[in-house]
Each structure stands twice: as structure tokens, then as C-alpha cells.
Amino acid sequence: MLSLAELTAYFKAREIGFEIQFFSGEFFALSFDKDFDASSIADLGGTIKIGEVKAKFPTETVKEAFLKKNKQAQKQIIESLASSGLVDGMAKSSEKILFGVSVYCTENTLRALSGGIQRFVGSTVKDELADLGKKSKFMGFSNDRKLAQLSHVEVLKKNLVENKAEVLFCIGRTETWVATTIAVHNPFEFQKRDIYKPNQRKIFGMPPRLARIMVNLSSCMPGKVLLDPFCGVGTILQEALLERAMVVGMDVNPWCVKAASENLEWLVREYGLEDADFRVLQGDVNKLVEKIGQETMDCIVCEPDLGPALRQVPTGPYAEKIVLKLEPLYSGFVEQAYRALKPGGRLVLVTPYIKTRAGQAVTMPISEKLGNLGFKRVYVFSKDMFAQSAGGLDRLVGASSLVEMDERHMIGREIHIVEK
Ligand SMILES: C[S@@+](CC[C@H](N)C(=O)[O-])C[C@H]1O[C@@H](n2cnc3c(N)ncnc32)[C@H](O)[C@@H]1O
């Protein structure tokens, strides 16, 4: 849900009116008050594809068509696709048209049939193009592919966005949306910032996509001042600089200060950010206000120390010990952060989320301290963002933090968002 949280924070910061019609782990359906600029996908760390909806029908029709093989329901889907204008954009190409179909399925009963649904939609589109006198080639998949979906890399490499040639067939619990892909995440840009920057650190480094999500969660906007007082090699600072924020970094380790400065200089050259405004200071976070002054920052975004790299899943008591050892660092930092932030400023803070052998999670008990200092928790999801039909809001609305956990890792990240 981190990606949906990022989207809502991004739209709210820019006063873009939206309503969430549906959300699941597979896809979100949103409606907007006015035209939405799909190129903003480059500003988002967690959104992989954006599609423009062309047709919508009840999921019941999809079940009838594919579970019960009802000919009438299949015909309804064919007619709905035909009247949607889905192939009009593709048909403009003068050459043989290469197109693809990706199926995103939230409905368990239909999931195993995704490959068949994809081929059905593909042959419908092919027939329609043939009716318009156009030759086409459908990008089919080998049977061993787990999901009936094109990756964003395939979409990019085959120019499917420019040619309006990817169909997204998104099956929700009650409704199904059919869309044309209008933007895709460019992994090469994020990868470039990850592996081609001059200085890297394998163990402590944060992926640029997560850094961008956190920057967006902080309501960072062009011209705002963003601080990362545990900046390491500067991943968060890089992403904030690309959002045209003024950035300030700090680290206790002099090597990191040099490394982050060089990385930011590289970024400025690489992306032609002539007006970029950044500085990186050396210092201990306990002296933060002394270094940067009181009420000087709009946003503070950071990942302090998360504890030692673990080789095996720890016991509960060992995980508690790790957290206890880190607690003074976090405690001292949030006091400084409160003083450094301008009124209304936001702190986005990662604390460790440690899985234990008993299957439980040990976390940093920071909420009370934040509350006592005067911070107000920011709830990224509120009821008014969702259409009545969206359903399943309880696990989102009122969630006080977000968790990012890669199944392969033993320490995940709990992301807190608070405001002064
Ligand atoms: C988890 S790393 C941050 C990684 C960073 N996000 C990046 O992508 O490189 C934490 C950083 O906090 C710094 N640090 C630890 N204790 C500190 C302190 N008391 N004051 C300032 N920096 C500190 C470490 O030197 C380390 O670079």
C-alpha cells in the first residue's frame, strides 16, 4: 500500500482532486477532477504503469464469459471493447501493428484463467484491427510465464506507449476496467541513479525508488527545503533534488559527507539541474539544530541506523536488544527534528521492523515520544479519498505507519509520517 500512499500524498501536495474507485495489491482505479498529466510517473517511485480507462463492465460478466464460457457474455465483452475506441489509437500506425495485453486480476476464481483471458482480448483486438484493414502482431507469451502481463521494460522496448499498443485488462472484485497504457515507469533512470552514481554503499544504501516514495510522502515540492540528517551516500537527497527541492544533508561519517556531495554533483551534471541548491554537512545528529538552525526545514526525510546486518532470523529477545540499543539515537534525533522543522513541517522517519523466529515483529516504540514532543501523526488515507464502492478501507484508513518488508530480508522498514 506504500505505492497508493505515495500517490495520495503526491496529489494532495499538488492539490490534484482525485477519488479512489478501487484498490488491491494488483492495481488501483482512480478518477480525477481534471486532466491528469501522465508524465508525472517519472516523479513517482511506486507506480509502474498508468492506463487511461476506455471501457468498464461488471466482473460478473467476465466470470460468466470465462468461468461458465457463456457465449452471450463473451459477445458483450467483444462489443464493449469494440465500442471503446481502444484500437483507434493503434490503427493510426501505418506499419504492421505490434500490440500486447496485460491482465491484472484481483478475483481469485479468475486468476488461473488470466492467460486465456489475455488471448481472448488479444484476438478480439486483432480482429478489430483486421476489420479496419490493419495487419497486426499480438505479443503472446510462453506458457511458463507466471503472470499474463508485459513488464514495463517490454512495454518500453517495444514502444507500446507511443503506439498506444498495450491493453490493460484489470479485473476488480465487482468491476473490470479496460485501459490503454499511457505511461510506464522507467527502471533505467532509477537504476542509473542507483548503480552509476560515483559512490555507493551496498549494505546501508536505500533503493532510489523507496527514497522517492519517502520524499513524496513528506509533501516535498519544488522550492521547499528538505533535510536528511543521516544522509549516507545521499540517495534521499538525490531524489529530492530531482523534485527541485533545496536539500541539506548531514552525516556523522566524513566519508559519507564527501560521497554524498560527489553524488549530488554527478546528479546535477547528469540531469542538467543548473539551479540545484544543496549542501552536505558533517556532524552528529544530536547537534543538528546547532548546525542548521531552528525552524529552518520544511521536510525531514531519513533512515537512521537500522541495526546490524543479520544472517539469520533473530529470537525475540535479541531483536528487542537491537531496538533497545538504537533507541537513544532515535530519541535524541526526534527532539532535534522537532526543533529544526518549521511549523507545519513534516518528518518521514524509518524505524526498524524486525521479524523474529516466533513470527512476530519487534518495532521501535517511538509513537509516544513523537506525541509528547508535539508531533501530530499524519494518516495518509482518509475516508473521503475513497468512493463508497471501494470497500475494504478499514486496513488503510487509520493506519498509523506503513511497513516495507522484502521477504528476503530480516529487517524491514516501518515508515512514520508526522507533522509539527
Ligand atoms: C542507514 S544509513 C542511511 C543510508 C542512506 N539513506 C543512503 O542511502 O545512503 C544511516 C547513516 O546514518 C549515519 N549516522 C549514524 N549515526 C549518526 C549520528 N549520530 N549522526 C549523524 N549521522 C549518523 C551513518 O553514518 C549512516 O551513513
With the most atoms of ligand 1 within 8 angstroms of its CB, the residue from 202, 227, 252 to mutate is 252
Please list every protein residue whose CB sits less than 6 Å from any atom of ligand 1.
Answer: 201, 204-206, 229-230, 232-233, 235-236, 251-253, 256, 284-285, 303-306, 329
- Sequence ranges of the chain with CATH classification 3.40.50.150: 188-419
Q: What pLDDT does 287 receive?
A: 97
| 311 C-beta neighbours (distance < 10 Å), count | 7
Percent of the chain with pLDDT over 70: 100
Question: What pLDDT score was predicted for residue 396?
Answer: 83
Q: What is the CA radius of gyration of the chain?
A: 24
Say which CATH topology domain 188-419 has: Rossmann fold (3.40.50)
- Given this structure, which CATH class describes domain 2-185? alpha beta
pLDDT at 408 over 80: no
Name the average pLDDT for the chain. Answer: 93
Helical spans, DSSP H, in 88-183: 88-91, 108-111, 114-131, 152-157
User: Residue 226: how many CB atoms within 10 A of its CB?
Assistant: 28
At 212-270, the pLDDT tens digits run 999 999 999 999 999 999 999 999 999 999 999 999 999 999 999 999 999 999 999 99
Query: Which pTM does this prediction carry?
Result: 0.94
Task: Outline which parts of the chain fall under CATH 3.30.2130.
Answer: 2-185
pLDDT tens track for 32-68? 988 888 999 999 999 999 999 999 999 999 999 999 9
With a CB cutoff of 8 Å and minimum separation 6, the contacts of 276 are 241, 264, 267, 268
Summarised one tens digit per residue, pLDDT across range 312-359 is 999 999 999 999 999 999 999 999 999 999 999 999 999 999 999 998
